[in-house]
Amino acid sequence: MVRRVEKSDDEWRASLTSEQFRVLRRAGTEAPFAGEYTDLEDEGVYACTGCGATLFSSATKFHSGCGWPSFYEPIEADAVTEETDTTLGMTRTEVRCATCDGHLGHVFPDGPPPTGLRYCINSVSLQFDPAEE
């Protein structure tokens, strides 16, 4: 069962930077090629900036060229939720943290095997935790 984290906007503002709040709680998008994890190749896991839930593994990260960290699947199927997003005149699938409902990014059907999916995720929504040597 997925644990739930719920906070008011004021509580989120107190625990996040303004950029983290804009992306996670207002479905914002960081500038492409600007995030700290876009090209990171280190081994480890990526946790939600909002609540600390583990979301993605470096084992599924790939270079998509899109300008944001890209993964072909979440670390567990129920770690994220996916919803149709029709903002900005496009139909996309939004990806959210299942634990705190924070906005992570979008998933597109143009990824590599084995899933064919590209989870295009904002770096500010993630906190990298390096694998121990």
Q: Which of 23, 48, 104, 120 binds Fe ion (CB under 5 A)?
A: 48
Using rule CB under 5 A, residue 97 touches Fe ion: yes
Integer Cα distance of 31 and 16 in angstroms: 18
Binder of Fe ion out of 50, 74, 105, 111 (CB under 5 A): 50
Q: Which of 84, 59, 60 is nearest to 72 (CA)?
A: 60
Has 120 been annotated as catalytic? yes
Least distance from Fe ion to the Cβ atom of residue 103, Å? 10
Neighbours of 133 (CB within 10 A): 4
Complex with Fe ion: residue 24 or 117, whichever CB lies closer: 24
Residue 74 in contact with Fe ion, rule: CB under 5 A = no
Provide, rounded to whole angstroms, the least separation between the CB of residue 19 and Fe ion.
16
Q: Which of 55, 60, 49 lies closest to 124, judged by CA?
A: 49
- Our finding on whether 20 is near Fe ion (CB under 5 A) is no
Ramachandran assignment for 49, one of left (phi > 0), alpha (psi -120 to 50 degrees), beta (any other):
alpha
Measured at the CA of 125, the angle between CA 40 and CA 37, to 5 degrees, comes to 10
The single residue among 100, 104, 117, 121 that binds Fe ion, judged by CB under 5 A, is 100
Binding site for Fe ion (CB under 5 A): 48, 50-51, 53, 97, 99-100, 102
Catalytic residue numbers read 120
